Each structure stands twice: as structure tokens, then as C-alpha cells.
Structure 1
Amino acid sequence: MCGSNSPGSPEKPPFFLYEYPGTRGTDAPREFLKGYKGTLVTDGYQVYHTLEKERSADLKVAGCWSHARRRFAEIVKASGKNSPSTPGQKIAAEAVKRIAAIYHVDHMYEKSSDEERLDHRKNSVNPLVDAYFECVKKYAGKTGLDKSSKLAGALNYSIHQEQFLRVFLEDPEIPLDNNDAERSVRSFCVGKHSWHIIDSKNGAAASAALYSIAETAKANNLKPYEYFSYLLEQLMHYPRNNVPENKLAELMPWSEALPDRCRKLKTR
């Protein structure tokens, strides 16, 4: 299952969209993203970069800082609590610390206007990003570094992804990572062994559609069960695949026309 999400804004409510690709090749994401114009926040999977080259006029790829951090964090975690850190672990710890600083400073203006956030990223976050890449390039070029080590892999990942990891600096709406999308598929991945009855392409496609609705409902502060119940109550009055556009608009998870029973209570 592949998925995408929009983090949302007052003008663009959040949504999650999943699809069963059937393959990890270029054809599946090419079809999935057909008609989409904007920015993808992804890991370093080469297929996305291939699509960007094919559609450079309307598709851009932004790198995920969480994926860059994860490689260093795994190296740090490998050392025991009471064991002295190796030189490689110290380098990894420094990289993790620098990425944490980038997140911290960027989040200071998370609730600000787009103009303020973009200005903040250019003046306050960009220098930290410059320093980070200067640091990883320095360590990657050190004599004696085992080119096959996890540390070399972590350093080279950031270096090869630099142009994509810098994209967020140009657009205030681009998040630092795609963690929202990863969190949204976690429950599916954890529970996948519990529903082996989904053993066909049609079943997988139906499951992806239902997950899209459920996760989008949750992202818009709805109760999934109540929302599904309300959808079924309303859609039963129309022929299949022939629901009026204005009615569909009223049924969207972000619609103001939804009844209160579908909404989660706001907590103070």
C-alpha cells in the first residue's frame, strides 16, 4: 500500500489517500500521482526522483529529515548506556544533535504566517542547515573512514539527498519530514497479519479506500465509526457512482454540514 497526505491549512484541510500499487516500480507511483501538482515529501527512494525529472514543471521532491536522522540515531542507539561511545558514535550523536537544532528552531515559527515562517527559515534555519552539511561532508571525507560502515552510509545519504533536504527552506508550507504519512499507515502495518482474508487485488484496493476515508476522518477530528455510519445512511439514497457533486461536497470529512454526532468533542 502506498499513501500520501496533505498536512492541511485553513484553506486546505488535511487528507490521507492510499492505494494498492501491486509493485514498487515507477509505474505505480506514476499512475498514483497522475494529475497531482505540487511537492512530495519522501525518503530517498529513487523512483520519486525519476518522476520529478519527468515532470519537472509541476512536480518537486522534498527530502525527509526524519529519514536522515534515523540512520544516525540507529548508530547512537547501538552503544550501551554504560559503554563508552566509539568515535563513529560520537560523530553520529553530533549529527543527531544538529538535526534536533534544525527542528527546534524551525518549530519556533510553526504557527506564524507563511511570510514570517519563510523569512525565519531563510535567516535562522538556513545557517543551521548549512552548518549540518558542512559537518557531514567534513566527516565523510575523513581519511580512514570505513566506506562500508553504517556511519559512511548515514553521511552519504545526507550528502546525496542535500538538494532535496533543502527544499523546505524555499516553501513555508513544506514540513521537515513525512512522519504524518508514516504514522497514518502504522496501524495498518501492525495489524496486517490479522486480516489475511484480504488476499486479492480487489480486496487490497477496497482496504486502501476504506483506510483513506478513516484516516482522513480522524485528521479532521471526526469519529470514524459515526462518520462511516452517516455516510452509509446518506449514500443509500443515491444510485451507485451517481451521487450529485453538491451532496458529495456536504459529505466530505471537512464539511461544515456534517452532524455533530460525527465530530469529536473539543478538549480545552
Structure 2
Amino acid sequence: MEVTTTAHSSDGVQPIVCFTSDEPAPFAQETIIITKQQDIEQRCRINYLEAQQIRDKAKIKALEEEIILKDAKINDLNKRLFGKSSEKSKKQNSEKNTNNSDQAPKRNRGQQPGSPGHGRTNRPNLPLVHAAPLDLPDEQKKCPDCGLPHIRKPELDKQSDVIEVEVKAHTRRYSRPAYTRNQGCTCDNHLPTIITAPPPPTLIPHSSYDVSFWVEAILNKYRYGQPANRYLQGLQDLGCPVSPGTLAGGLKNLAHLFDPILEALYIRQMGEKIFHNDETRWEVFVEIEGKVGSRWYLWVTRSQSVIFYCIDPSRSATVPGAHFAGLQNDLVIIICDRYSAYKKLARLADNIILAFCWAHVRRDFLDAGRAFAELNEWGLDWKERIGNIYHLNKLRLEHWNPELPLSEQSKQFTQCQQTLQDALQRMHDEASKGIMQDNNKQQNKSQASKRSNSAQIKQKKVYQSLLDHWQGLTVFVENPDVPMDNNLGENAIRGPVTGRKSYYGSGSIWSAELAAALFSITQTLGVWDINQRHWLMAYLTACAENAGKAPQDINSFIPWLMDETRRAELTRPYPSQAPPANSVQTHLNS
């Protein structure tokens, strides 16, 4: 390689370098001669470095967007965990700040001082126990100064009622007189040598535990959400220790007693037309071939008169598909969230229409506003729009006659119907416009300067989800009897979720199936306002009297089959037996 350097100067002396002068630097006067190969190599290297710089800038920009997105998620989670729950609009917040000095003092929670009360609660179902009179001592029945006795005035006697709740465990001993055959009796009737009355009926043969024991165990776990160990610990504190194996084995033996009731619930539900569906995880600690982990799923289907649960290791569409295989109507509506299993179910079944939940859509906008500060006002604005749809639907339902078709409704209903449809159309147009502006970079250039790329992506996803589910979100317009949200289904599953957090699922498959069955029965009884303790005592007593089997005729235990007198009887609390008066007197003296 040959390099020749030539310096040009008027006086033969190298000029002094001066960076502030307009004259060129000395090296600008020099001529460097390199080979063609070196020139090509230098140009290639320059092009390579420029390409690397472009890639690095794109990578840095992508990482910056990722950091913004992660910061938004962290901000959202922090606000959910530590922030105040507020969905007030910007206008309301500004008015609050301007009028802060004139703001009235904060109102305390609960009943306000000076407001009229509701009086003492009437309890007509509590038995009345007359205790021994609480009389004055002899020294207080006379004047302390002169010693003259006070005059007795029965018409001025006072009464004091004290409500007592006595929780106790006891052993009830039955005396069974024994008889032997008369010596003069020569009949060949195979009578036993010692003849006694049969023992009291029990649910489990040769068991010493009464129906009340199992009713308390069922209610504590499947209604009140308490773990079985806590119930056993309470019994031990009352002097009645019971081993966990005894309780688990007994519940396993009782599981089949509820099968006829469960079948009746399913048949009833399959004849209805509107359903609320939801699902939640449920741990079942059993190893199954081909399944990894212990996560199962508890599915709930709520209709007008029945709440039905089923447990399954899968969260696929086969579970609701199997449940709705017994539908009796040509067309039904399922109100649910946007989970893909329900969408697949609707694609496979022509007689199922999905109505999606507006509460989930509302949550999408609020979550986006919490995640990105620049979307906060936008999210709150859409929250108010959705609230207005709820309001318009409520006004419409006030004039709705369920016995008439939509074409024959009143004029007021028709006006409210048109106002509702117009509001929904404006929402649809706004979402469509937002999608089109986001796709057109030139039209959205001014907005892009205000919002980050991650915020725009989030906004587009919310809009797109709204439009994709629009058909299911507007089912309630042509079907006024369909609610706008799935709150009934989600409320039904709250009890089991509370129990899951307490005893963390089930330890066997039969236990999980029993939990689903008892959740179904107890919550369906709640829909019919039937006292669950009263019903369980009556039903399990009938099972005990039938030698530990389900009664042949269960119509008197099915809410929609029993007569009004029977339903009114089971609606009241279970009639408790009042303790004897001497026990009350002993308690008062102690």
C-alpha cells in the first residue's frame, strides 16, 4: 500500500491551527492518496456502521416503548393496590378543588346522630322462655330509714328481654325398654330373644351422629365458607372431639343422597331461556393421567330459578357444551364474558345466542385510563357514556310490558327504545372512527404527538374489542328481559370463591363433586327464599327415616313443586327447642 502526503504552503512553513478562524485548517490543505481497495473497504465500513446505527436506534426506541408499557402496568397495579378508588370526572375534580374552602364537613358512615331509628327488630320465630323473677332482696323491700315495707304493685311490673344464643354439643340418650317372650307363648314367629324398640334413625348405619351434626358440617363449609378443620376445632372446644377422618368419611357416604335433588335442578334449568355463565379456578389435589397440576375449574350456570355448578379439570368449550346438551327450548341466550369457550359453544350450537357483559367493556376503558395517564380522561369519558346506556335502558324498562312484543309496546317505550339505539349508534361510530384514525398515520399525526405509541396501541385494542363483540353487546336491545351485564353470574360464584380461599379447594374428586352439588342446592334454595338450615334438617331427616337413602318422593323438597303452605313453612327458620326454665334460672344465678 502506497500513501503520499503533500503539504502546500506559501512560505514553506506549516500554518498554525486556529479553530475560530474562517480559514481552513492545515489538514484541509493536505492531499492523501489511498488505493482503490482501501477506498472500497472504508466505504463498506461506513455503510455498515450507518446500518448498525439505524438498527440500534430502532432497538432503543422499541425498548423505550417497552419501558413505557411496563411503567404503565406498574402504575396501574400500584393504583389498584394502594391508590384511592375514584372514578370522578375531571370536571368534578376541578369543581371540588375550587370549592374546597366552602366544602361541608365529611359525613360520617352509618346512622347519623339525631336521625330516627328503625326500632327494635321483631323476632317472632324465637321461642320465649319465662325465667324465674328477678326480685329485690328482702333488705331492699323496705324503707332503709323507717323500716316500713314497700307496697307490692303487680300492675306496674316490668319485663326485660335478653336474647340468648346457646351453642352446645350434647349426647341424647334414649331409653329402650327390653322385653322377653312369655313362657306360655309357643308361636313360631322368629321373634328375637330380647325385644326392644328400634334405635333412633340415623343417616349412616351404626353411627352415633345425629342429623344436626351433618347439617352443621354442611352449612359451615358450603354456605359459610369455613374449612372443616375449623368446625372440628369448635366442636372440640365444646367438649366433642371428632376426628377429620370421621367427618370426611361421613360426607362421602352422604354424597349420593343429593343426586335426586341435583337431577331435578338440572331438568328444571334446561327448560329455561336465559342463563348467566361464569367459571373460576378450583384446586383438586388428585393426580390424573395426562393432566399437569391440580387446577380444575368450577363452572356456574344461573337461570331464573336454579343456580347449577359443575366441576371439571378442563376449561374448554366441552364443559358448557355438555351442560347445555339437554336444552329444551329452540333458542336460548347465555350472558357471559368474552371467554373463547363460550364463543366456540355458540358457533357449534345454533340454538345459543351470546350476550356479552357491558361491565367488562367498562372495565376495559377504566383499565386503559389507569395504565396510561394520557388516556385517563378518555377512559372516564367512555365510562360516563356506558353509564348513560345503563340509564337509558332503565328508563326503557320502566315502560316495558313483558307480555307484549316490541312492535306492540307503548309509545313511551318506543321513544326510549329509539333514544337508546341512537346512543349506541353514536358509540359504535366513535369507536369505528378511532380505529380508522389510528390506521391512518397521516390523519393521526397530531394525536400521535400527544400520545405514546403504547397508549395508541392500547386504545386501539379497546376499540377493536368493543366492535368485535358489538353484536353480543346489543342483544339486550331486542330482548329487554336480558340484563346488560353478567353481575348475577359473578355474584353467584362469590360464595365458592370465599370458600376456596379458606380451605383451598378439595382433596379428592368426590369431595369436589360434593362441593359443586351442595353449592347448587344451597344457592338455589336461596333464590326461592327457603331457609337452608330448615330444608337440610327436613331432607336429611327424611333420608334417615328411609334407612339412609333418599326418599322415594322428593316433590315436597323441590321449591317449585311444593305447595304454598310447605314453602312458607320452610321459609321460616328451623324451629329451635327452648331450654327448660330451670337451666335459664341456673344461668342467671351464675
TM-score range, shorter chain: 0.7 to 0.9
Distance in 2 of aligned mates of 1:150 and 1:199: 41
Where does 1:87-236 land on structure 2 (aligned, <5 Å)?
88-110=375-397, 112-114=400-402, 118=406, 120=413, 122-143=417-438, 144=448, 146=454, 149-196=457-504, 198-236=506-544
Aligned to 2:214: none
Question: 2:77 aligns to what?
Answer: none
| CA–CA separation in structure 1 for the residues paired with 2:475 and 2:306 | 22
User: 1:64 — aligned with what?
Assistant: 357
Contact 2:542 2:551 in 1 (8 A): no
Amino acid at match of 2:435: A
Q: Which residue of 2 aligns with 1:23?
A: 314
Aligned partner letter, 2:324:
L
| Aligned residue type for 1:107 | K
The CA distance in 2 between the partners of 1:142 and 1:28, in whole Å, is 41
SS in 2 for 1:140: helix
- Structure 1's 134 and 25: CA in aligned 2 closer, same or farther, altered over 3 A? same
Aligned to 1:32: 323
Greater displacement, 220-229 / 158-167: 220-229
Correspondence for 1:53 among 347, 357, 377: 347
Work out the CA distance in 2 between the residues paired with 1:31 and 1:170. Answer: 28
Range moving further from structure 2, 100-109 or 134-143: 134-143
SS in structure 2 at match of 1:142: helix
Would you say 1:251 and 2:557 are equivalent positions? yes
Amino acid at match of 2:380: A
Instruction: Give the root-mean-square deviation of aligned CA atoms.
Output: 2.7
Deviations 1:201-236 (A, max 9, x none): 221111011111111122222222222222223344
Secondary structure of 1:174's aligned partner: coil
Shift of the alpha carbon at 1:178? 1.1
**Which moved further from structure 2: 104-113 or 28-37?**
104-113
How far does residue 100 in structure 1 lie from its aligned partner after superposition?
Answer: 0.7
Q: Which structure shows the higher helix fraction?
A: 1
Cα offset, 1:109, TM superposition: 4.1
Taking a change above 3 Å as real, the CA distance of residues 252 and 73 of structure 1, as seen in their structure-2 partners, is farther
Separation of aligned partners in 1, 2:458 and 2:495: 29
**Do the aligned partners of 1:61 and 1:164 also contact (CA within 8 Å) in 2?**
yes
| Contact residue 397 and residue 480 of structure 2 kept, 8 A | no
Moved more, 115-124 or 187-196: 115-124
Segments of structure 1 that go 5 or more residues without pairing to the other structure are 9-13, 80-84
Shift of 1:191: 2.7
Contact 2:309 2:517 in 1 (8 A): yes
- Pick which of 88-97 and 250-259 moved more: 250-259
Aligned-residue offset at 1:19: 0.6
Give, in whole Å, the separation in 2 of the partners of 1:216 and 1:28. Answer: 21
Paired-residue identity, %:
21
Structure 1 distance, partners of 2:363, 2:572, is 34
Question: Residue 128 of structure 1 aligns to which amino acid in structure 2?
Answer: A
3-state SS of 1:3 partner: strand
Conserved? CA contact 1:221–1:264, under 8 Å: no
Tell which has more relative contact order, 1 or 2 (C-alpha 8 A, sep 6+).
1
